[in-house]
A = this chain, B = another copy of it.
Amino acid sequence: MKSYLECVPCFIRQTWDVLQRVTGDQGIQEGVMRNVLWAVSRMDLNDPPPVMSQYIHQMIRRKTGLIDPYKEIKELSNRVVLSMYDRLKEQIQESADPLETALRLAIAGNLIDMGARSHIDAAYIQDAINRAFVEPLAWNREAFVTEVEQAGAILYLADNAGEIVFDRLLIEELPMEKITVAVRGYPILNDATMDDAREVGLTEIVRVMDTGAAAPGIVLSDSSESFVQAFEEADLILSKGQGNYETLSDCEKDIFFILTVKCPVIARDLDCRPGEMIVRKNQHSLASTQ
């Protein structure tokens, strides 16, 4: 997906949000802000939005020396959702359709996104869970199950910390032996990295690798060889969240996009409403199913 002019106010808001979080030094804040404004003024709109996000966060890291500004938020979200794990597991197992329940929770977890929001806490996460059970979910259960069954290798692209506990619950309802989970190669926003995968016990139940890149999405040209190989060899990709959608919406592999739509640009691209819970097969594969 390309970037739109509508993304521009969001890039600038995101820059200011992070700057306030990471430094009180007004000289650094001003330097980064001026640099980002200049960079956005000449950006290539053909790049998906995560390319500019990556640039912004790299700039902030370089100027502040702070590697992981969202570390505390990530640990907090992991801890909060982990404390709910047993109860959620029970809810899934006792529900009429455990797969759909786990999928709903995994989509609700996608609301734990510091790219789209400035603040997240335990009450916000509980609200997201409550929403998961009442929002409509239009998905093609049969196509999803069939593709998962027929695939030899499944690559699961994680999105955010906290959310990754919900991902674990969903993965436990899928054929785990076929699944590799990919997290980001470096800290970016509150996206999950290998530390988060370890913290929530994901590394104990499936193979986990990282992309080798710091984009809040999948940019193959920036990714490690081993990730690119896993990506190419996967028969099916389960892609969580907006950043992965933005970077893979034009990719020709078999991909199910699983996300909550958090911005009007993506809503338009997906032809749905902001706030909608989405399980959508990409349009480019031969066996498009929804």
Contact = CB atoms under 8 A, between A and B. Distances in A.
Contacts of A90: none
B5 A16 contact: yes
A53 to B, nearest CB: 15
Interface stretch (A25-33, A165-173, A238-246): A25-33
A38 B40 CA distance: 8
A8 B29 contact: no
Contacts of A5: 16, 19, 26, 29-30, 33
A37 interface: yes
Contacts of A6: 16
Interface in A144-178: none
A30 B6 CA distance: 10
Contacts of A19: 5
A41 interface: yes
Contacts of A8: 12, 16, 33, 37
A29 B7 CA distance: 13
Copy count, this protein chain: 2
A6 to B, nearest CB: 7
Given A5-B26, A8-B12, A16-B6, A37 B34 contact: no
A235 to B, nearest CB: 39
A62 interface: no
A251 interface: no
Contacts of A26: 5
Nearest to A45: B30
A198 interface: no
A65 interface: no
Interface of A: 5-6, 8-9, 12-13, 16, 19, 26, 29-30, 33-35, 37-38, 40-42, 45
26 contacts: A5-B16, A5-B19, A5-B26, A5-B29, A5-B30, A5-B33, A6-B16, A8-B12, A8-B16, A8-B33, A8-B37, A9-B9, A9-B12, A9-B13, A9-B16, A12-B12, A13-B13, A30-B45, A34-B41, A34-B42, A37-B37, A37-B38, A37-B40, A37-B41, A38-B38, A38-B41
Given A5-B29, A6-B16, A8-B12, 18 more contacts: A5-B19, A5-B26, A5-B30, A5-B33, A8-B16, A9-B9, A9-B12, A9-B16, A12-B12, A13-B13, A30-B45, A34-B41, A35-B41, A37-B37, A37-B38, A37-B41, A38-B38, A41-B41
